[in-house]
């Protein structure tokens, strides 16, 4: 299924129905008086966060979301029927932003959470509402008010406990495939991963957490390089960052340099991200060049306050230790957790 995490759409609530001007004309009821009913209220457009959806694909090709108009009032004291409201399911983690002002309208970050994005118009009053002792035959009624109309942008920010970041081809997708049932596309070329991948990881018999592979974050990502600007926002909701490093044949690439470069990009995008709880791991430990670099890299990162967790997704060496470290980092009081 195609991953869609941003959609622009127009939202139109229903107009209120018009009030009615009418008088009673039944036989044997002389001077029956005003009998025009009120118009019905226009329907609201309501967004509902649903765990059934994982992308905004269902809304990708819908230009307008429109609720029903309220019926006009009728004679014989009959009120118009309210317009049918429109309930729209969106994935959990969807933010609704006003396309014109950029203001946040709603942040649907919990299953079942609802937000009225556009309110329906009020129904107009019929002439029976205007009868007074001084005007027993009013010939006036109100028109219904228009429903709200607004252009909005939906942005999906994934909800995950652990966000896995790193340069392309460091082994993020392979790691997620190893520790969960997620089956991301894996290949030996840059930007194999074009969409975030989520997996559920079980640690022991009583703990589990969700990991998300955040693709496309490279140097310059905060300025739109690679795919980073599109996917950096998915990191914002993660509680812990897993920064995966690896040895790369490119002479411009070096694990510690990669770490500093991506930390800089996180800080440029959102300063708080650079201070978030981070676990640093060195992947591809089954390769001789990785094992040779491990001791020196451990010392360098220890000086920065980051213990290094080396692992091999191919042999599973070090994987359990890394998962325990992540589980402890997600504990209610990470400061009290012991080093794995």
| Secondary structure class of 178 (helix, strand, coil) | helix
Q: Kindly report, residue by residue over 259-316, the tens digit of the pLDDT.
A: 888 888 888 877 777 788 899 999 989 999 989 999 999 999 999 999 999 999 889 9
pLDDT score for 183: 52
- Of 117-126, 172-181, 203-212, 237-246, give the range with the top mean pLDDT: 117-126
Q: For 120-179, list the strands marked E by DSSP.
A: 149-156, 162-165
Higher pLDDT, 330 or 74: 74
pLDDT score for 66: 96
Residue 216: pLDDT band with limits 50, 70, 90: low
What's the CA gap between 128 and 182, in Å, rounded?
64
Which has the minimum average pLDDT: 7-21, 248-262, 326-340? Answer: 326-340
Estimate the crossing angle of helix 172-179 against helix 319-329, to 10 degrees: 90
Round the CA-based radius of gyration of the chain to a whole number and report it. Answer: 29
Domains of the chain with bracketed CATH: 1-156 (2.70.210.12), 162-336 (3.40.50.300)
Evaluate if pTM is beyond 0.75: no
- Asked if 92 contacts 108 with a C-beta cutoff of 8 angstroms, the reply is yes
What's the CA gap between 52 and 161, in Å, rounded?
19
pLDDT score for 173: 78
pLDDT score for 93: 85
Q: Kindly report, residue by residue over 73-130, the tens digit of the pLDDT.
A: 999 889 999 999 999 999 888 999 999 999 999 999 888 999 999 999 999 999 999 9
């Amino acid at each position: 299924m195609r991953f869609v995490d941003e959609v622009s759409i127009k939202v139109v609530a229903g107009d209120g129905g018009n009030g009615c001007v009418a008088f009673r004309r039944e036989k044997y009821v002389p001077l029956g008086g005003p009998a025009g009913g009120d118009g019905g209220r226009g329907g609201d457009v309501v967004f509902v966060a649903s765990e059934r959806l994982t992308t905004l694909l269902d809304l990708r090709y819908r230009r307008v979301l429109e609720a029903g108009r309220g019926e006009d009032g009728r004679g014989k004291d009959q009120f118009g029927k309210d317009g049918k409201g429109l309930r729209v399911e969106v994935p959990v983690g969807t933010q609704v932003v006003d396309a014109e002002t950029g203001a946040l309208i709603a942040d649907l970050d919990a299953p079942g959470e609802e937000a009225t994005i556009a309110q329906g118009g009020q129904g107009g009053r019929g002439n029976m509402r205007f009868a007074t002792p001084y005007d027993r035959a009013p010939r006036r009624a109100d028109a219904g008010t228009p429903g709200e109309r607004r252009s909005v942008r939906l942005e999906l920010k994934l909800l995950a406990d652990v966000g896995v970041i790193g340069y392309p081809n460091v082994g993020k997708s392979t790691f997620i495939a190893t520790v969960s049932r997620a089956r991301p596309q894996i290949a030996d070329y840059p930007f194999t991963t074009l969409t975030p991948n989520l997996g559920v990881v079980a640690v022991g018999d009583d703990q589990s957490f969700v990991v998300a592979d955040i693709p496309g974050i490279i140097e310059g990502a905060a300025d739109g390089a690679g795919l980073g600007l599109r996917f950096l926002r998915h990191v914002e909701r993660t509680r812990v960052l897993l920064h995966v490093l690896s040895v790369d044949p490119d002479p411009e690439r070096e694990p510690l340099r990669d770490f500093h470069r991506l930390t800089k990009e996180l800080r440029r995008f959102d300063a708080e991200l650079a201070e978030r709880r981070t676990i640093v791991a060195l992947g591809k430990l089954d390769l001789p060049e990785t094992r040779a670099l491990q001791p020196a890299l451990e010392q360098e990162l220890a000086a920065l306050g980051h213990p290094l967790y080396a692992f091999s997704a191919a042999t599973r060496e070090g994987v359990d230790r890394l998962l325990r470290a992540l589980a402890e980092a997600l504990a209610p009081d990470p400061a009290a957790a012991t080093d794995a």
